[in-house]
Amino acid sequence: MSAKRSYFLPAVLIMAVSLVSGCASLSPYSISEGQLESHLQDAVTTFDREQLQSGSPLSLSLSNADITLGPDGRDVAVIDLSGQVSLNALMTRLPVDIALKVEGAPVYDAEEKAVYIRRLQLLDSSIDSPFFKGDLKPVTDTVMRAVAQMLETMPVYRLDETDFAQRMFGMVPMDVRVAPGRLEFVMSE
C-alpha cells in the first residue's frame, strides 16, 4: 500500500503539470494592466513602510500608477507614476510632487515566481514643490535612480502560491509575453 502511495503523488503531480502546460499552450494565463497597477500600488506601499522602518529619511507614496502593456505592438510596459516623495529631516517633512513616465521590459524570474520591469528608460518627468517646478535634471536623475532600483528589486506581480493553477504554472518553465493590455504566461522555448 505504501509503494502505491509513493507512485500516486508524483503521477498526479506530473498529470497536473502536463494539464497546466497543455492549457498554457492553448490559452495562456494572463495578467491585466489593472491587476499589475493594483499589485504595484500595494508593493510600493510595502516598500515605503519597510524603508521608513529601516531608518530611511525618504518616503514615497503613489497617487496613481498607470501601466500600458504592448503599446504600438512593442514588447514593453510603459508606466506613468505620480505621487509624492518626502524628505523627513529635522522634525520637518518636505514634500515634493513627482510624475514619471518610464518604459521597461517585463521579465519573469522563475526562481522568484515574479515579474519585474527591467531595462528602464525615462520618457518624461516633472517635479512640483513649493521651492521649484519643472524638470530639474539632478533631482529627476536621483528620483529615476530610486525608482529604477525599486522596480529592479520589487516585482510588479508575483504568482499566488495559494492558487492551485498559479502554483502549477510556477512549477513548469514559464516566461512572459507582452500582449496589448496584458502579460501572458507561456511555456519557455
CATH value at residue 94: 3.15.10.40
One domain for residues 39 and 24 = no
**Is there a single domain that holds both residue 72 and residue 153?**
yes
**pLDDT band of 86, cuts 50, 70, 90:** confident
Same structural domain, 41 and 120 = yes
Residues 9 and 95 in one domain: no
Rg (CA), the chain: 20
Q: Is 33's pLDDT higher than 90?
A: yes
3/145: higher pLDDT: 145
Grid coordinates representing 52 are 521608513
Amino acid at 182: R
CB 117 within 8 Å of CB 79: yes
| Residue 181 covered by a domain | no
- Residue 184 inside a domain? The answer is no
Residue 152: inside a domain? yes
17 in a structural domain: yes
Separation of alpha carbons 84 and 97, rounded Å: 4
Looking at the structure, tell me whether residues 108 and 46 fall in a common domain. yes
Q: Are residues 78 and 14 in the same domain?
A: no
67 and 123: one domain?
yes
Note whether residue 15 is domain-resident.
yes
Task: With beta carbons less than 8 A apart as the criterion, state whether 81 and 70 touch.
Answer: no
Would 107 be classed as within a structural domain?
yes
- Distances in whole angstroms, Cα of residue 134 to Cα of each of 95, 139, 178: 15, 10, 33
Instruction: Give yes or no: residues 107 and 18 share one domain.
Output: no
Prediction pTM value: 0.73
Query: Is the domain of 16 the same as that of 38?
Result: no
Q: How many domains does the chain have?
A: 2
Structural domain span for residue 20: 1-30
111 shares a domain with 61: yes
Of 20-24, 78-82, 165-169, minimum mean pLDDT range: 20-24
**Tens digit of each residue's pLDDT (9 = 90 or more) over 102-134:** 999 999 998 999 999 998 888 888 877 776 655
19 and 54: one domain? no
11 with 67, same domain: the answer is no
